A and B are shown apart, each in its own frame.
Chain A
Amino acid sequence: MIDLSYYLIFSLSLYILGIYCLATKRNLIRLLLGVEILINAANTNFITFAAYANPGFVDSMGHSFTSVSIGLSGAVSAVALAVVVLIYRRYGTLDADELKQLRD
């Protein structure tokens, strides 16, 4: 079996990638993708830990947590995309730097 630490390095780098995306990207859709990457980092962790908890067995709690969180992240994305559509209709742009009404 592949060592657990490789999976942990993978999920941590996925997390850092998501934070990097949130910090540097200015497009609203890309910001949303950054959040999705963060959630996937956590999901990867759950799947890994479920497989490694007891060698030879798979713990069902990690899997149920992952499937629930995939569903919830879909719901969050739906609301977020609706808000993005509203923003596009009002401001005519998807650039976060153009949304300046709240900068004071």
Chain B
Amino acid sequence: MLSLPLDILLIFTIVSPVVGWVTPKLYRAKILGAFTSVALLITGYALYDLYLGSAGASVIYLPSNSLIWATLRIDTLSFFMASIFLGLGFAATIYSIAYVKNKAETPFYYTLILALISGMMGIVFAGDLLILYVFWELMSISSYALIALFKEENTSIEASFKYLIMSAAGSATALFGISFLYGMTGTVNFEGLAATLSGTAPTAWVYIAALFIFLGFGVKTAVFPLHTWLPDAYQAAPSPISAILSGIVIGPGIFAIAKIFFTAFLSIQELWAPALAMLSIITMLVGNVTALMQTDVKRMLAYSSIGQVGYMLIGLAIGTQLGLTGTFLQFFNHALMKGSAFLCVGAIIYRLGSRELSDLQGIGRKMPLTAFALAISVVALVGLPPLAGFPGELTLFTASIQADMTWLGVALLLNIIISAGFYLRIIYALVQPISTSKAEQTKEAPLLMLIPILALVFLIIFFGVWPDPLVNFAGDAADALLSVGGTV
């Protein structure tokens, strides 16, 4: 059907509400949490097995006579992205077992998490634009519902609607662009698009299609003028969902833009690369400078995600193998770092009940492990050497010098300095003397929250000290992307 890992995940998604019905009400949340974690573990094993079986080549599924079929193209890039989707999804699920209370909505919560992750896996497995669009909508619909689900913040419904309208208009715009690609080539298969469009001189319709597709997928990626939904949505969502949204949901957007632009639109690369470079600089400036002005920690981290999207776009703008390696490396490490940071902030909110930076004063004295993890992830987000943020940023900087676009690397460095301004404010608040009675009464976070946080922090340190396997994996992923268009 749809390759083994995706089949397993989709079947578990469909079964999970039934499990929610039949389990006793008292233990429902815990049982469903465990069920979801097991589902993700089994999928992870199936993915690993498929990866070993593929031996570096891409696994291709073509239409067949079975009941459900799809054109899939699973290459190293798919494995690279899917592994971090499953990894961070697993961490957030374990965390949710402690975070989510036993409510009427709880069964839907886990079903939606599974649907969100299967949507993202489907996107990176897709072999043509039809499959990509179907899974794109699966991911989008589950994320709209997840933000509005618990209504724990006053703003969550409003944020969900704002996100929904912007994102649905974005999907429709991308669909409009895809229709022009289809009209020009008669195919929606990535290899077919690359083969048809590479030889011919570009017509005006190629530019129009590229514009619509970039605008459409750019909404989910939060590229500069289309980023306004992001802080509201991340702030209003439950914290584990903020971690998933911020860490990995920007990934499919980056993936879709990279995949389409490096296959169908390679012939007009000299046109879109400078535009993408300018947009990346504006995006990271807007994200980092606005984050400086925030007093709400979750909102600050949300704006810093926009800055990080700017860093990732640099690699796409450079367009060399090294640049793409930097983009994917930065995406992977950002998922670990920002995921861990959002989970830590979620734990602090869970115990303290406030998200204002001024109320966080002295929390490090009461929640030492959480504060330590938050400090490590925040320092890693700045990009200091022995931690995971460093290899990605260094690769992007080296790639910009090698491609004679040093100004892009300098812009990256300047933005890292700006970002240190607000990341370090968080650490500063953590180590202050305790000033409020509320902070006096807080305790360390529950064990089930600490386990995923500390596991992510371990990975941050591990991939910072020994980045070689990850760098090689990201390099293979970049090669796989470039080989679809036939340039390697």
Contact = CB atoms under 8 A, between A and B. Distances in A.
Interface string A59-70: 101101100110
Interface of B: 130, 133-134, 137, 140-141, 144-145, 148, 151, 154-155, 157-162, 164-165, 168-169, 171-173, 175-176, 178-180, 182-183, 186-188, 232
Contact of A65 (B169, B182, B232): B182
A19 B183 CA distance: 22
B176 A45 contact: yes
A63 to B, nearest CB: 11
Secondary structure type dominating chain A contacts: helix
B158 A87 contact: yes
Contacts of A31: 165
Contacts of A42: 172, 175-176, 178-179
A72 B182 contact: no
7 contacts: A45-B179, A46-B182, A61-B130, A73-B172, A80-B164, A83-B148, A83-B161
Nearest to A32: B165
A49 B161 CA distance: 33
Contacts of A84: 161
A52 B179 CA distance: 13
A39 B175 contact: yes
Contacts of A53: 183, 186
Contacts of B188: 61, 65
A45 B174 CA distance: 13
Contacts of B172: 18, 35, 38-39, 41-42, 73
Contacts of B145: 79
Interface of A: 11, 15, 18-19, 22, 28, 31-32, 34-35, 38-39, 41-42, 45-46, 48-49, 52-53, 59, 61-62, 64-65, 68-69, 72-73, 75-76, 79-80, 83-84, 86-87, 90, 99, 101-102
A86 B154 CA distance: 12
A45 B154 contact: no
- Which of B130, B161, B168, B171 has the most chain A CB within a 10 Å cutoff? B168
A79 B133 CA distance: 18
A38 B154 contact: no
B176 A75 contact: no
B321 to A, nearest CB: 32
Contacts of A11: 176, 179
Contact of B137 (A22, A76, A83, A101): A76
A83 B144 contact: yes
A79 B139 CA distance: 13
Nearest to A38: B172
A75 B137 contact: yes
- Which 9 residue pairs are nearest across A and B when measured between Cβ atoms? A38-B172, A45-B179, A49-B183, A42-B175, A42-B176, A72-B137, A39-B172, A35-B168, A86-B157
Nearest to B235: A102
Nearest to A14: B176
Contacts of B137: 72, 75-76
A46 B179 contact: yes
A31 B141 CA distance: 17
A69 B175 contact: yes
Nearest to B153: A101
A101 B155 contact: yes
A28 B161 contact: yes
A80 B171 CA distance: 14
B130 A68 contact: yes
Contacts of B176: 11, 15, 38, 41-42, 45
Contact of B159 (A38, A80, A102): A102
Contact of B141 (A19, A79, A99): A79
B169 A35 contact: yes
Nearest to B299: A104
Contacts of A19: 169
B175 A49 contact: no
Contacts of B154: 101
Contacts of A65: 130, 133, 178-179, 182, 188
B186 A59 contact: yes
Given A35-B165, A42-B175, A42-B178, 5 more contacts: A46-B179, A65-B130, A68-B134, A79-B164, A99-B158
- Which of A32, A49, A64 has the most chain B CB within a 10 Å cutoff? A49
A18 B170 CA distance: 12
A83 B160 contact: yes
Contacts of A28: 161
A28 B178 CA distance: 27
Given A62-B182, A65-B188, A76 B173 contact: no
A48 B176 CA distance: 13
